[in-house]
Structure 1
Amino acid sequence: MLGAILGDFCGAQYESRRSRYDGSRPLLNDGCRFTDDSILTFATAETLLGGDRSAESFARGYMEWGRAYPGRGYGRGFRLWLQNGELVENNSFGNGSAMRVAPVGWAARTLDEALELACASALYTHGHPEGVKGAQIIAAAVFMLRRGASGDELKNYLETTFGCDLSTPLAQIMAQGYAFSATCQGSVPQAVRCFLESSSYEDAIVKALMLNGDTDTQADMAGSLAQVRSGVPEAMRAAALAAMDERMKAVLLAFEERFLNGVRL
């Protein structure tokens, strides 16, 4: 969970594309901040800590956290959904469904449960098949890595199950002129590829930022996977905790205590 939040925290300043990331600036700097990616990840975690894991419960959580933390860069469709104030289904395939789903991969007891919970988390705000698929890809990846899957095993499963292409190297993706995409189909596979080519948590974040696409969300997704394999550096954890308010910290620590057995990863 924290791996996703930190990816957002480090990548938010580059999302506007006015300031492209070239690898020379430290990941932790004065421009770091939490956006909608983090806010809604906290909402997912809080829902999983509760007893009701229905699609309606996830939706109520996103509605409540979104309204409690306005102006965090929510997409237009999600903002309209918040303003409407009713639990109506939004047929979006934006990557918002994937950026907030990492806690599902930690809380699920089986792969099938991870897929079912990911679908429930996406249903009201990202009910398009691609929106659901994006959430399931990240949730399944976190779960499989927790259970010891190798990079090749993960790649083969995701390509076979979801039909996504994870074979193109990042260098080739960048050379072909990768363009900003806030869709699941245009950003989730690329974020997974960032993880697959990474050697550490920080390296996964750097690679996601170097794509210069939807930087905060791609770093969030890549970071959610890298945390499982590599853990989160203590200095980065401390910086994130220092920037959180008490509600955020309470949810994170409760989630880690319950689903990570109190271990800092």
Structure 2
Amino acid sequence: MIGAVIGDVTGSSYEFDNNTEDYDLDLFREGTTFTDDTVCTIAVADAILHHKSYESALLEWCGRYPGRGYGGRFQMWLTSAVHRPYGSYGNGSAMRVSPVGWAFEDLEITLAEAERTALPTHNHPEGIKGAQVVAEAIYRLWRGEWDKIQELLISSYGVDYERQLPGVGVFDETCQGCVPLSLLILTKSTDFEDSIRSAIHYGGDSDTLAAIVGSMAEAYFGVPDTLAERALSYLPQDMREIYEEFRDRFIPTSSLEV
């Protein structure tokens, strides 16, 4: 899940500044911070670790860290008296699901848990599918099944998936736009840092795109210690504690560094 955090943090200052044509952009420039992508990912990890419902963990963590770029409908969900799912197919379900891909030993259970993480808010079929596709990719990648990723992309989004991708720099918050794009970027990446740079460089919803790409890239390439330590330095202590507890329980040592 550190891959999602790195993607979110490094992409945060570029989310509404997509005019850069520089692949060698400054990953930690002024204005870098953590956003809703990290908060919600930590919430999912906390729920898994401490047997909380995904809904209660999201409400707890997002309430603890307000004003972190939550989408309008998600913000209404957070502050409403009754918390009902609102049929979203936004990419929020895909950006927060990464802990599920590491925590469960069976693919069927992984897919069921991914759906559960989406259901409190993103109960549209595309919202659920987006979460499940990312979780399955992570599940397969850290087991070395790189050859399954293109198959997953096509079986989930069709042989003509590229026709539905947002153009370079286009802000697309949907799962059906963002998730196949994330998989495509991943399949063209040469290492973890290349995947993050490529996602941010593509533009649009930079932090969420990089968070999703990073969550999957971590599982296959591993994460450089320097990037992990720098990104974690932007997180408050309670988030770092959840990350460290989750890492120590679920992440294979071989995935922690390259």
State the alpha-carbon separation in 2 of the partners of residues 65 and 165 from structure 1. 38
Is 1:117–2:113 an aligned residue pair?
yes
State the alpha-carbon separation in 1 of the partners of residues 95 and 158 from structure 2. 17
State the alpha-carbon separation in 2 of the partners of residues 134 and 89 from structure 1. 16
Q: Is the 8 A contact 2:3 2:218 kept in 1?
A: yes
Letter matched to residue 126 of structure 1: H
- TM-score between the two structures when normalised by the length of structure 2: 0.92
Match of 1:157 in 2: 152
Question: Which deviations, in whole Å up to 9, do the C-alpha atoms of 1:123-168 show, x marking residues without a partner?
Answer: 0110000100110110010001112102x321113322x2345874
Q: Secondary structure at the match of 2:244?
A: helix
Change (3 A) 1:256 1:26: same
RMSD between aligned residues: 2.0
Match of 1:134 in 2: 130
Q: Secondary structure at the match of 1:148?
A: coil
Match of 1:90 in 2: 86
Unaligned runs of 5+ in 1: none
Letter matched to residue 258 of structure 1: R
Question: Which deviations, in whole Å up to 9, do the C-alpha atoms of 1:190-232 show, x marking residues without a partner?
Answer: 0111111000111001111121111000000110111111111
State the alpha-carbon separation in 1 of the partners of residues 121 and 92 from structure 2. 9
Letter matched to residue 192 of structure 1: L
Letter matched to residue 250 of structure 2: F
Change (3 A) 1:166 1:156: farther
Unaligned runs of 5+ in 2: none
State the alpha-carbon separation in 2 of the partners of residues 92 and 251 from structure 1. 27
Question: Which deviations, in whole Å up to 9, do the C-alpha atoms of 1:6-57 show, x marking residues without a partner?
Answer: 00000011111365452242223333210000000000000010235xxxx1
Is 1:8–2:5 an aligned residue pair?
no
Match of 2:30 in 1: 30
Change (3 A) 1:3 1:85: farther
- TM-score between the two structures when normalised by the length of structure 1: 0.90
Letter matched to residue 74 of structure 1: Y
Match of 1:46 in 2: 46
Question: Which residue of 186, 210, 213 corresponds with 1:219?
Answer: 210
Q: Is the 8 A contact 2:94 2:179 kept in 1?
A: yes
Q: Percent of pairs identical after alignment?
A: 38
State the alpha-carbon separation in 2 of the partners of residues 4 and 165 from structure 1. 27
Q: Is the 8 A contact 2:178 2:209 kept in 1?
A: yes
Question: Which residue of 194, 199, 204 corresponds with 2:195?
Answer: 204
Letter matched to residue 47 of structure 1: A
Count of residue pairs brought into register by the alignment: 255
Question: Which residue of 249, 254, 257 corresponds with 1:258?
Answer: 249
Is 1:72–2:63 an aligned residue pair?
no
State the alpha-carbon separation in 2 of the partners of residues 189 and 231 from structure 1. 21
Where has structure 1 moved over 6 Å in runs of 4 or more? none
Shift in Å at residue 85 of structure 1? 4.0
Q: Is the 8 A contact 1:13 1:19 kept in 2?
A: no
Which 10-residue stretch deviates more, 98-107 or 30-39? 30-39
Q: Secondary structure at the match of 2:171?
A: coil
State the alpha-carbon separation in 2 of the partners of residues 70 and 30 from structure 1. 21
Change (3 A) 1:18 1:147: closer
